[in-house]
Structure 1
Amino acid sequence: MKKIMVFILISCGLIITLTACNSKENTSIKIAEVTRSLFYAPQYVALEEGFFEEVGLDVELQTTWGGDKTMTALLSEGADMALVGAETSIYVYAQNSKDYAINFAQLTQTDGTFLVAKEPKPNFTWEDLKDTTFLGQRKGGMPQMVGEFVLKQHGINPQTDLDLQQNIEFANIPGAFVSGEAEYVQLFEPTASTFEKEGKGHIVASFGEESGHVPYTVYMTKQSFIDKNKADVEKFTRAIYKAQQWVETHTPEEIAQVIQPYFEDTELEMLTASIERYKSQASFATDPVLDKKEWNNLKKIMNEAGELPEDVPYEELVNTEIAEDVIRN
């Protein structure tokens, strides 16, 4: 009888132990993304394929629609991490913030916009932009700064050689182009390809191909968050790296099928075409390391746009230790 009781107690102990192990909750991480864009395909792959859960994280994603709103969410602790342009970390640093944002994982490495003309331009040259109305992006944001940088590379002064319009909110730019007088516009995918399919515009050039590598969209968090939660930041980076490698080794069709739940209003065919366009110009970073050459290219673009508040050292705002450890291990 005693042996039976001992066996039951041991069994119960094992059950309690196993239950306790299985009930261990994942760590919750709140992410603020600057916009919803298939440019961020690796992030949606990580979510849909369960890569975050594999490392013990529950990721809550919110779209904050704009760099200023995204950084406000991060700095006010409305989000633990932000997916936004690296330039925003420089703006925050220049305001003498005591707990500034640190870039720890890069997601995209080129500009993600395309030059779309209202009329067909089979023999397009950048000279065609002179004396036209160009609907650009928000002043001080990466799309607009890269846009101006590329125009200058082709001998076009954005302020004097064309009518540059920058007074339209990001979400309203596509509609303003269709209903307005602008002859050219700077658009992300899948809007650019959708416009082309519907006859509302024609893709004539890629700003990503023209501008070279730049830390266009990165994950950042406050230094205090890294100090307190470095293991979770490492886990997050590990999941993103796995997603980057997944995107690199899978076809546009396979990627589109996985991320379609985040773009329910876009046809699978259009998603596939847009992803293929981004893959062909190497827009998706294949690892999370933000290197110094890319950082210097960012500062050069900001400086030429007159938006670089100060020359912030790479070592001050970029943490590559976490990403490098993830890749090594």
Structure 2
Amino acid sequence: MQPFHLSATGYNLNYLPEYIALRHGFFREQGLDVTVNIPTPWDGVLDALADGTADMALGGIWVPSMYRDRVQDYTVFAQIANRCPLALLTHGNGEGFKLADVIGKTVLMKSGGGASVGLFFKMLLRENGIDPKSVDYIQDLDGVMLGNLFQGGMGDYFVTDNLSALAMAERNSNVSVAMEMVSQGDIPWSVYYRETATITADVLDAQKQFCIALEKGIDWVLQHDAESFRDELAELFPTVPVEVAVSVTNGFRRDGMWTSTSVSRTGFDRWQVGLAGARLVKEPIAYDDIVDNGPASAAQIEATFLWHTARARL
């Protein structure tokens, strides 16, 4: 069994296929002993890559993008989350909400896990013809702190992860979800990457095996209504009401959160425009300059071959 260590920037429901692959032994079927840690602070994933204690990092593609040609070059080899897993909370009833409603208002945005929340929300505003400067932001505080303050009356809207948003709305009748951003188009929200200079033929082979198992995890989640594995969801997310975890999971299944391990070129290009608009990159980076789709593509070909072989034996 080959050790294959992952350093992740967080623990989130949008990583669910990976957790399923671990729990169901899909990685071990591919000869990989996958282990995971979540450093504090989250940017410790980069230290783990640098000192060789991690074989890959899991997080936002905005990090490899802004580091490229400045600090360190990283190569992305797989994707797990194909949509943004955030939601926008409002005071009172959010029915009939339009994005233009945020103009002139104050939006709270958690930032403890990195810059993705603000990057995406402001990109969404620009895509809809809204000047991000027309909105006031409070975004330099921890998500739990901001959640408590929002419920206490601070600000007009609060952007947080979808799971926390629905859990908060279920507990507190004075707030509601105005928008679930999983419906707002493809974007490579969460990807796997490592330092470009450390990639060898053996590394590429291990990445392919990882992708085969992750593809199986994605397929498993897509083929099973969340209600059928609610007990697993309860174990994975014990602090959230299981009904909320089931609801969010099925929403993600329906709205394209999980598609394949390949990074969508359309989603990638969209996100690069957003990163350039936020000045994290001077100009959008070309797909092939930062993404190597080889391991994911090879995994999909092999998985298809194995599926057809198994069908032929029936």
- Say whether the fold is shared (TM-score over 0.5): yes
Pairwise mapping of residues 173-322 of structure 1 onto structure 2 (< 5 A)?
173-179=146-152, 181-199=154-172, 201-210=175-184, 212-227=185-200, 228-284=202-258, 286-322=259-295
Q: Shift of the alpha carbon at 1:237?
A: 1.1
Deviation at 1:234, TM superposition (A): 1.5
C-alpha distance in 2 between matches for 1:60 and 1:150: 35
Shift of 1:127: 2.7
When residues 105 and 189 of structure 1 are mapped into structure 2, their CA distance, relative to the original with a 3 A threshold, is same
Asked whether the 8 Å contact 2:107–2:155 carries over to 1, the reply is yes
1:43-122 matched pairs, under 5 angstroms: 43-64=18-39, 68-97=43-72, 100-122=73-95
- Deviation of 1:96 after TM superposition, in Å, equals 4.3
Q: Which residue of 2 aligns with 1:144?
A: 118
SS at structure 2 position matched to 1:147: helix
Shift of 1:217: 0.4
> In the alignment, what sits opposite 1:127?
100
The SS at the match of 1:229 is: helix
* SS class of match (1:190): helix
Q: Is the 8 A contact 1:146 1:207 kept in 2?
A: no
For each residue in 1:87-117, what CA deviation from the matched residue of structure 2 results, as whole angstroms up to 9, or x when unmatched?
11112213242xx221111101111101111
- 1:324 is matched with 297
Cα drift, residue 252 of structure 1: 1.6
Q: Contact between 1:32 and 1:73, CA under 8 Å: does it hold in 2?
A: yes
The one-letter amino acid paired with 2:28 is: E
SS in 1 for 2:68: helix
State the alpha-carbon separation in 2 of the partners of residues 293 and 180 from structure 1. Answer: 39
Alignment partners' CA distance in 1, 2:137 and 2:79? 30
Q: Is the 8 A contact 1:55 1:235 kept in 2?
A: yes
Residues 1:266 and 1:103: Cα distance change in structure 2 (over 3 Å): same
Contact 2:13 2:163 in 1 (8 A): yes
Amino acid at match of 1:147: F
What amino acid is aligned across from residue 48 of structure 1 in structure 2? R
| Whole-angstrom distance in 2 between the partners of 1:279 and 1:96 | 37
Q: What's the CA shift string for 1:270-299, capped at 9, x where partnerless? A: 210111222222112x21111322221111
Tell me the SS of whatever aligns to 1:61: strand
TM-score (norm 1): 0.84
Query: Contact 1:94/1:310 (CA < 8 Å) preserved in 2?
Result: no
Does structure 2 retain, via aligned residues, the 8 Å contact 1:80–1:225?
A: no
The equivalent of 1:30 in structure 2 is: 5
User: What is the Cα deviation at residue 194 of structure 1?
Assistant: 0.6
Q: Which amino acid aligns with 2:66?
A: Y
Change in CA separation of 1:170 and 1:94 when aligned onto 2, cut-off 3 Å? farther
Change (3 A) 1:127 1:90: closer
1:202-252 CA distances to partner (integer Å, 9 max, x unpaired)?
A: 111122322x21111011122344314222211111110110111111112
Q: Secondary structure at the match of 2:87?
A: strand
Counterpart position of 1:156:
130
Shift of 1:325: 0.8
Distance (whole Å) between structure 1 residues aligned to residue 256 and residue 284 of structure 2 = 28
Q: Structure 1: any 5+ residue segments left out of the alignment?
A: 1-25
Q: Which has the greater radius of gyration? A: 1
Residue identity (%):
21
SS for the counterpart of 1:307 is coil
Provide the C-alpha distance between the structure 1 equivalents of 2:2 and 2:266, rounded to a whole number of angstroms: 34
Offset of residue 60 of structure 1 = 1.2
1:66, CA displacement in angstroms? 5.8
- Please report the RMSD computed on the Cα atoms of aligned residues, expressed in angstroms: 2.1
Q: Give the conservation status (yes or no) of the 8 Å contact 1:94–1:309.
A: no
Letter matched to residue 222 of structure 2: E
Contact 2:76–2:193, Cα closer than 8 Å, also in 1: yes
CA distance in 2 between counterparts of 1:275 and 1:311 reads 32
Question: What's the counterpart of residue 305 of structure 2?
Answer: none
SS of the aligned residue for 1:94 comes to coil
Name the count of aligned residue pairs: 299
Any idea what SS the aligned residue of 2:193 has?
strand
Task: Output the CA distance in 1 between the equivalents of 2:38 and 2:235.
Answer: 15
Bigger mean CA offset, 308-317 vs 37-46:
308-317
DSSP-derived class of the 2:251 partner: helix
Distance 2:230 2:146 in 1: 25
SS at match of 1:107: strand
Aligned pair in 2 of structure 1 residues 299, 272: CA closer, same or farther (>3 Å)?
Answer: same
